[in-house]
Structure 1
Amino acid sequence: MLTAGLISWLNESRRTAQRQAEANLKLLHESQVRFGRLTESNEEALRQRETELRLITDTLPVLISFVDSEQRYRFNNLAYEEWFGHPAAEVYGKTLWEVLGESAYKVLRPYVEQVLAGEQVTFESQIPYKDGGTRYINAIYVPQFNQQGTVEGYAALITDISEQQAALRERKRAEAALRESEARFRQMADTAPVLVWMSATDTFCNYFNKPWLDFTGRTLEQEMGNGWTEGVHPDDFRRCLDTYTNAFHARQKFTMEYRLRRFDGEYRWVFDTGVPRFAPTGEFLGYIGSCVDIHDRNLAEKALRDSEERYRILTEVSPQAIWMGNSDGGITYCNQYWLDFTGLTMQQTTGYGWICAIHPDDRVGVARHWHRVFKTSMEAVANATNYEVEIRFRRVSDGSYRWHIVRGLPFRDAAGQIIKWVGIASDIHDRKVAEAALQQLNEMLEQRIQERTVQLEAANKELESFSYSVSHDLRAPLRHIGGFIELLQKRHSSTSLDQTSQRYLKIISETAKQAGILIDELLTFSRMGRTEMRYINLNMEELVQEVKRDLIAETPGRIIRWHIKSLSEVQGDPSMLRLVLRNLIGNAVKYTQTRNPAEITVGSIDNENEVVFFVQDNGVGFNMQYVHKLFGVFQRLHSDPQFEGTGVGLANVQRIIHRHNGRVWAEAVVDSGATFYFSLPKLLRKEGE
């Protein structure tokens, strides 16, 4: 209302000023005409009329100027001196741009050109004068014509409306501030996590925020007035309405809980708070209120009550002792199990009375442990520790002491202070007896294992020594057999022996050679278990290239396509790992001799903790059903005489890789090639670590 009145007053003042200015300008024009006519009569009348004109114009509260066609000042009334602070006579005959300055003239020039063209001009503008001042003016330019009808100048009636403009700007700022305040309120209300409502002095609601409308799923028009009551649960309606009405008439704050229907039809409990609104003058304006959805809280409280009841029932029927203590460590509650087990009453148990049920030998230790944990937990939350101790409690039924494990957990408030302890005591007597028996059995087994380990190590050493001795002792007879066969073949020419005898000698010679190879392999296998390992950084690509050169020299005429990938460096024994590569790549060469060309690939896979190397071929492969036999001593999956072997090479591979703390395995498909893998750890643990 205040804003509307201010606007009306400003508009009326402006219209009044406009009418007065036009009337003054008309009077001025008539006086000028009379002045012009009198000029032709006599000079005395001219001076009299000039004085009359100045008296008239000097009494007007506006600036009046006459400007000729050359834009030179010919007259200014007394208001000029009040505006600019110097006499009007000083600017007589000067041009507009000389008096006003270039900035002001630039603004006025279009209007001056228009009035000199014979048009009356009315405008409002902000003028920056050369003296540094700035005014917001309302101006009327009226052209002046001579007897020939030519424009000889113009009269300017200028009103300073700066104050009116300031008032208008202030009003606009007030309106903008009001709109901004209303926008902030609406934004706050619409983004608040509560349901907001407002009512007028007639008890009817006239505002609901967006969360309210979203919650109810209704429009603002539907909720206005008393429409919102349609969403109140019928059982809560009368109580809700009475609470609101009584508080409204008493102009008092109120709170109430009721069920409000949500957009999906569910009635949910809300907590409503209403506060009366008063103007600065004390006038009652109505109510503003907010509702909070407490449905889930109510459900949680009910669930908590139900949980507490279930907890009480469970503690009373529990087959374990359940206890609670205060912040000082004194017992405040024990369930029925404790009372039945110890024969103590609740009164005898509370505080520190429960200690009398502890075995005399355990009391001192238990008390010290309890006070140590309690003190640590009280000092800081970061040092909080649960209480756990094993205690013997006396059973009242037979007077025996039975082992229990007692556990306690501290509960703290928001400030981190312990407010209570909750714990449980479980009977572990039978377990303790079983553990003691098991401990005794473990000690016996440990002793037996140590004894058997010593025996096994001795047996292994004897076996290795035996294998080494036998291998060496067998070499001499085999050399004799080979030598005498060679002498026998030289003594008897091919014509003196029949074909059967020659075949027998050939078989004996080849068998002796095969036995010699087998003995060499057996010696190598035996040495692998006794040879001391030396660990160095190895370039696996160089080892592979060395093995490849040796195998190419042993297989002249074969077409083999080699695919050697980039291989990671590892740590290991160079001679042993060279033997691994020799066996695996040699097998790939051997079992691809029926392929033309043969394809052999050697590569590696870099995993997080290990490097996996593989040798892949396109040879005859093997049946995965027998893969478990692959790395056993003297185990061969190919009996074809075309593929020679002793069955010791892969056993050596496995033994070497295991000594490097790695793994070895293989994959294959019959007649479609095989792939052998072995892994070496990145951070190699030396043998025995």
Structure 2
Amino acid sequence: MLTAGLISWLNESRRAAQWQAEATLKSLRENEVRFGRITESNEEALWQRETELRLITDTLPVLISFVDAEQRYRFNNRAYEEWFGHSTAEIYGKYLWEVLGESAYQMLRPNVEQVLAGKQLIFEGEIPYKDGGTRYINCIYVPQFNRQGIVEGYAALITDISEQQAALRERKLAEAALRESEARFRNLADTAPVLIWMSGTDKLCNYFNKPWLDFTGRTLEQEMGNGWAEGVHPDDFQRCLDTYTNAFDARQNFTMEYRLRRNDGEYRWLFDTGVPRFAPTGEFLGYIGSCVDTHDRNLAEKALRDSEERYRILTEVSPQAIWMGDVYDGLRLRNGGISYCNQYWLDFTGLTMEQTSGYGWIYAIHPDDRDRVLKSSMQAIANGTNYEIEIRFRQVSDGSYRWHIVRGLPFRDAAGQTIKWVGIASDIHDRKVAEAALQQLNEMLEQRIQERTAQLEAANKELESFSYSVSHDLRAPLRHIAGFIELLQKRNSSTSLDETSQRYLKIIAETAKQAGILIDELLTFSRMGRTEMRYINLNMEELVQEVKRDLVTETQERKINWHIKPLPEIQGDPSMLRLVFRNLMGNAVKYTQTKNLAEITVGGIDNENEVVFFVQDNGVGFNMQYIHKLFGVFQRLHSDPQFESTGVGLANVQRIIHRHNGRVWAEAVVDSGATFYFSLPKLLINESDERTQANSAN
């Protein structure tokens, strides 16, 4: 309004001056025509009027121009000369494009055309000038009308706002920088692994970051102001509010812990840190705070405290001495050595904690053990390894020494550095006494074993002598009996004997033969306990096939289906195991002779630690009620004369299998067959060699 009033006043003054000048010029021309000259007084009046107008406009800090309808400059105040360096006289009457230049004129041309059409304009723009510079200007174009209402030009009031525009740009840049800074802050706050809040000077919260909203599951609108307090645990609310209010009033930092409800309804402990915010001018702006979820850490710390308390209680009531010591620095204890001992130690030794600390515990050790204990413990500590030492500690009750076993181990930090040593001492005195007594008993037993071994060796020699005697002295009479019977039978061919005599000779011959067989089997049985065993890898299928071929003479004219299944290899004595299969397979042939078709199966089962072999038949079987007699010497379960037997074969089987550390057993049903089993442990070659040596020694 002020600018419009100024322009209106200037226009009126200019028009009044112009009309007066035109009237004066007209009068002068008429006088000139009439008199031929212009008076000096009229010219002076016109000059004076224009001078007054210029004095007024030249004092204004704006550029004022009057342009006629032909776009020629008719008036410019001094500001034009100051801005652009052109005098008003120099540009008077010149066209706009001549003064402004083509580029500037083309920018202003639409506005000029509108104002000359009678429209008042206000606009801003950056105008290039002939000198190559630019100015940012605010323009007010006001059309000028004559008394007939025709536009005869326009007045331009131009203000240089370049500085204001620069300030505006700086302000905009500052605002943009502020927005960018705020965006960075929000991005940082929203991606930070903590909950962030801000409050204003009214103590009400006006900002929460995304992790806060995600944690609570509420919207920003719900949390604003005091809304966030709805999630604080009721038991923590007043304490939380008092802490915040007191710090706010004192403009001080604060920390506090409280429970805040999470989106799943669980209250979790948060550690909140608040800091006052101040403007660069020192003006207080409010508070900013960050919260860290310490719930799991608090639970872990509580569990640790509970664990430490339980550990303390256990150590104090433990019936063992428990100690803790500092690490060694070279050969010296860095912080004085033993730093803790439980109540058991104090009660046992009668020492106080002060007396035990450092090296005091050494004086509770038996003098004969001190050097050994210190040497062993120092070496273990220097190497950072566990150690175990047997020590005698003096007990305060009667001054006697009792044996303890002390175990120490290093306690390391996360980096693997030893920071403490922990140990436990257990009373083993009664065990040591028992061990000493046991050692004495073992020595006594060892002596008795040696004595019994000598007795057994003597008995074995006597048994060998007996075996030789049986082999030599008993066989000789039997050979004589057999020889004379054979002579009598030959003589019988030429001398006639009655039927009874011939039957007697036959019985005597068979009895002598049976006695020889019995003597041979008894000798075999006795040798089984003394024969040196040879452990080798055996192909059991080949061994069974050999035994089967040996039985051909006994199976002639009989129908026998042999079922020899795949058998695993084992380690054992070949001659002894051949005798086992010879007895079992021979029995199967013998006790199936009443069957028209004998079915005999030989198989094996490979278990984890042993191999089980079996011989199965469909013969006469036996009554399981007498199974306990089956493997005894001279024990027979069949008295039928057609099943000839000495009762020694299965006893030999059992002795051989037992010498191989195996087992032997049988199953049977009367008239439905029998199955004999024996097992052999799986042995490595070196184990079998050791077994051979052990059996040789036996």
TM bucket, shorter chain: 0.5 to 0.7
Q: CA deviation at 1:452?
A: 0.9
Distance 2:664 2:643 in 1: 21
Distance 2:657 2:357 in 1: 67
Q: CA deviation at 1:253?
A: 7.8
Distance 2:549 2:188 in 1: 86
Distance 2:194 2:592 in 1: 83
Distance 1:513 1:470 in 2: 15
Out of 190, 203, 206, the residue aligned to residue 205 of structure 2 is 203
Distance 2:438 2:313 in 1: 39
Structure 2 residue aligned with 1:524: 524
User: Could you tell me which amino acid in structure 2 is paired with residue 323 of structure 1?
Assistant: W
Structure 2 residue aligned with 1:67: none
Q: CA deviation at 1:212?
A: 5.5
Distance 2:528 2:213 in 1: 81
Q: CA deviation at 1:649?
A: 2.1
* Cα distance change, pair 565–336 in 1 and its aligned pair in 2 (3 A): closer
**Structure 1 gap ranges (5+):** 1-59, 61-178, 378-383
Distance 1:256 1:292 in 2: 12
Q: CA deviation at 1:539?
A: 3.4
The answer (yes or no) to whether the contact 1:584–1:676 under 8 Å persists in 2 is no
Q: CA deviation at 1:271?
A: 4.3
User: Could you tell me which amino acid in structure 2 is paired with residue 677 of structure 1?
Assistant: F
The answer (yes or no) to whether the contact 1:373–1:387 under 8 Å persists in 2 is no
Structure 2 residue aligned with 1:409: 409
Out of 322, 334, 337, the residue aligned to residue 341 of structure 2 is 334
Structure 2 residue aligned with 1:303: 306
Percent sequence identity is 67
In the superposition, the TM-score normalised over structure 2's length comes to: 0.59
Structure 1 residue aligned with 2:369: 362
SS in 2 for 1:619: coil
Out of 351, 356, 371, the residue aligned to residue 358 of structure 2 is 351
Moved more, 196-205 or 421-430: 196-205
Distance 2:250 2:623 in 1: 97
Does 2:583 correspond to 1:578? no
Structure 1 residue aligned with 2:469: 469
* Cα distance change, pair 650–464 in 1 and its aligned pair in 2 (3 A): farther
Distance 2:584 2:658 in 1: 16
* Cα distance change, pair 296–338 in 1 and its aligned pair in 2 (3 A): closer
Q: CA deviation at 1:491?
A: 6.9
User: Could you tell me which amino acid in structure 2 is paired with residue 456 of structure 1?
Assistant: L
Q: CA deviation at 1:300?
A: 0.4
Structure 2 residue aligned with 1:293: 295
Structure 2 residue aligned with 1:645: 645
The answer (yes or no) to whether the contact 1:481–1:512 under 8 Å persists in 2 is yes
The answer (yes or no) to whether the contact 2:355–2:361 under 8 Å persists in 1 is yes
**Root-mean-square deviation (CA), in Å?**
4.6
Distance 2:431 2:616 in 1: 56
Q: CA deviation at 1:540?
A: 2.9
The answer (yes or no) to whether the contact 1:208–1:220 under 8 Å persists in 2 is no
User: Could you tell me which amino acid in structure 2 is paired with residue 649 of structure 1?
Assistant: G
Distance 1:262 1:534 in 2: 79
Residue correspondence of structure 1 range 551-562 to structure 2 within 5 A: 551-562=551-562
The answer (yes or no) to whether the contact 2:196–2:288 under 8 Å persists in 1 is no
* Cα distance change, pair 374–680 in 1 and its aligned pair in 2 (3 A): closer
Structure 2 residue aligned with 1:389: 390
User: Could you tell me which amino acid in structure 1 is paired with residue 390 of structure 2?
Assistant: V
User: Could you tell me which amino acid in structure 2 is paired with residue 310 of structure 1?
Assistant: I
The answer (yes or no) to whether the contact 1:632–1:651 under 8 Å persists in 2 is yes
The answer (yes or no) to whether the contact 1:657–1:680 under 8 Å persists in 2 is no
Residue correspondence of structure 1 range 135-534 to structure 2 within 5 A: 203=205, 229-241=229-241, 256-260=256-260, 267-271=267-271, 289-294=291-296, 296-311=299-314, 314-315=315-316, 317-328=317-328, 329=333, 330-377=337-384, 384-393=385-394, 395-485=395-485, 507-533=507-533
Structure 2 residue aligned with 1:37: none
SS in 2 for 1:673: strand
Distance 2:435 2:248 in 1: 76
User: Could you tell me which amino acid in structure 2 is paired with residue 353 of structure 1?
Assistant: G
SS in 2 for 1:643: coil
Deviations 1:130-189 (A, max 9, x none): xxxxxxxxxxxxxxxxxxxxxxxxxxxxxxxxxxxxxxxxxxxxxxxxx9x999998x78
Distance 1:365 1:268 in 2: 56
The answer (yes or no) to whether the contact 1:277–1:285 under 8 Å persists in 2 is yes
The answer (yes or no) to whether the contact 1:327–1:419 under 8 Å persists in 2 is yes
User: Could you tell me which amino acid in structure 2 is paired with residue 371 of structure 1?
Assistant: M
* Cα distance change, pair 489–386 in 1 and its aligned pair in 2 (3 A): same
Out of 678, 687, 693, the residue aligned to residue 688 of structure 1 is 693
Distance 1:205 1:195 in 2: 14
Distance 1:184 1:483 in 2: 121
Distance 1:512 1:182 in 2: 118
Distance 2:254 2:599 in 1: 91
Distance 2:323 2:381 in 1: 16
The answer (yes or no) to whether the contact 1:391–1:406 under 8 Å persists in 2 is no
User: Could you tell me which amino acid in structure 2 is paired with residue 615 of structure 1?
Assistant: V
Distance 2:227 2:556 in 1: 103
Q: CA deviation at 1:517?
A: 1.3
* Cα distance change, pair 369–668 in 1 and its aligned pair in 2 (3 A): same
Aligned residues: 495
Moved more, 570-579 or 456-465: 570-579
The answer (yes or no) to whether the contact 1:599–1:617 under 8 Å persists in 2 is yes
User: Could you tell me which amino acid in structure 1 is paired with residue 459 of structure 2?
Assistant: A
Distance 1:373 1:600 in 2: 68
Q: CA deviation at 1:337?
A: 4.2
Structure 2 residue aligned with 1:173: none
Structure 2 residue aligned with 1:100: none
Q: CA deviation at 1:235?
A: 0.6
In the superposition, the TM-score normalised over structure 1's length comes to: 0.60
SS in 1 for 2:556: coil
Distance 1:626 1:211 in 2: 88
Q: CA deviation at 1:449?
A: 0.8
The answer (yes or no) to whether the contact 2:540–2:568 under 8 Å persists in 1 is yes
Q: CA deviation at 1:631?
A: 3.6
Distance 2:603 2:492 in 1: 54
User: Could you tell me which amino acid in structure 2 is paired with residue 389 of structure 1?
Assistant: E
Q: CA deviation at 1:487?
A: 5.7
User: Could you tell me which amino acid in structure 2 is paired with residue 435 of structure 1?
Assistant: E
**Structure 2 gap ranges (5+):** 1-105, 107-182
* Cα distance change, pair 362–234 in 1 and its aligned pair in 2 (3 A): same
